[in-house]
């Protein structure tokens, strides 16, 4: 017989595996961004700003148009029926306090009868969005600098208006029902990465002004 007993060989591999996993965690970007409480060197802070303050409306509209499709379709059952929202289309974006105009296809399927009935139409809504910027702050560093930027996300914060165009819809399928559903499904859940836009804004000397 030669070498170590099998139990020791396995234990060695286990210790090596633990060491490698720990080393990988320490070197990961997430670990690197954690605040150093012992030294007080840095801390993560979040500031909420108007997206229009860091980038033009057309750039924000482009980012939103490219990413909004992943949040749809949305489906919700009601008794023996089902409502589906799909194919969002960004119709416009305006400033200040970024507002987004959306057209979304809506379909109601009544499955309690044979053959099942379906009605299709569209809803138009206006939503308000705000950006949350996370950055690493050191004592005496002042406002966020480009190198300290961790991430920036633009999220739907409120649905201001909704118009429903759907012929043959049941009495319960109202604008208020849809707005309550979209509030739960979209507000604070539909977000877009604008880190690169905020980085350029800061690099050009911009200052983040928190919303009131």
Confidence of residue 21 (pLDDT cuts 50, 70, 90): very low
17 part of a folded domain: no
Say which CATH number the domain at 117 has: 3.15.10
**Per-residue pLDDT reduced to its tens digit, 47-95:** 999 999 999 999 999 999 999 999 999 999 998 899 999 999 999 999 9
Q: Over 70: is that where the pLDDT of 38 sits?
A: no
16 part of a folded domain: no
106 part of a folded domain: yes
24 part of a folded domain: no
196 part of a folded domain: yes
Buried b (16+ CB within 10 A) or exposed e, 136-173: bbeeeeeebeeebbeebbbbbbebeebebebeebeeeb
Put simply, whether the predicted model's pTM sits higher than 0.85 gets the answer no
Q: Over 60: is that where the pLDDT of 173 sits?
A: yes
190 part of a folded domain: yes
62 part of a folded domain: yes
Q: What integer pLDDT is reported at residue 32 of this predicted model?
A: 36
Confidence of residue 152 (pLDDT cuts 50, 70, 90): very high
Q: What integer pLDDT is reported at residue 110 of this predicted model?
A: 85
Contact assessment for residue 161 and residue 125, using Cβ atoms and an 8 Å cutoff: yes
78 part of a folded domain: yes
Residue span of the structural domain in which 189 resides: 40-203
Total number of domains constituting the chain: 1
| Residue 47 preceded by cis peptide, ω within 30 | no
């Amino acid at each position: 017989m030669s070498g170590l007993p099998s139990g020791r060989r396995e234990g060695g591999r286990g210790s090596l595996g633990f060491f490698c996993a720990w080393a990988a965690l320490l070197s990961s970007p997430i670990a690197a961004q954690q605040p150093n409480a012992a030294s007080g060197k840095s801390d993560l802070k979040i500031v909420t700003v108007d997206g229009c303050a860091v980038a033009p409306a057309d750039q924000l509209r482009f980012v939103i148009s490219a990413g909004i499709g992943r949040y749809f379709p949305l489906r919700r059952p009601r008794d023996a029926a089902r409502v589906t929202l799909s194919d969002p289309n960004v119709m416009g974006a305006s400033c200040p306090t970024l507002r987004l105009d959306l057209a979304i296809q809506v379909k109601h399927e009544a499955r309690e009868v044979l053959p099942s009935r379906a009605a299709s139409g569209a809803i138009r809504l206006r939503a308000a969005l705000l950006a949350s910027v996370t950055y690493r702050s050191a004592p005496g560093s002042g406002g966020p600098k480009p190198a300290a930027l961790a991430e920036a996300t633009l999220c739907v914060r409120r649905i201001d208006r909704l118009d429903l165009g759907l012929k043959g819809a049941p009495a319960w399928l109202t604008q208020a029902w849809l707005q309550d559903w979209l509030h739960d499904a979209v507000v604070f859940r539909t977000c877009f990465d604008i880190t690169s836009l905020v980085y350029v804004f800061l690099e050009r000397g911009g200052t983040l002004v928190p919303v009131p």
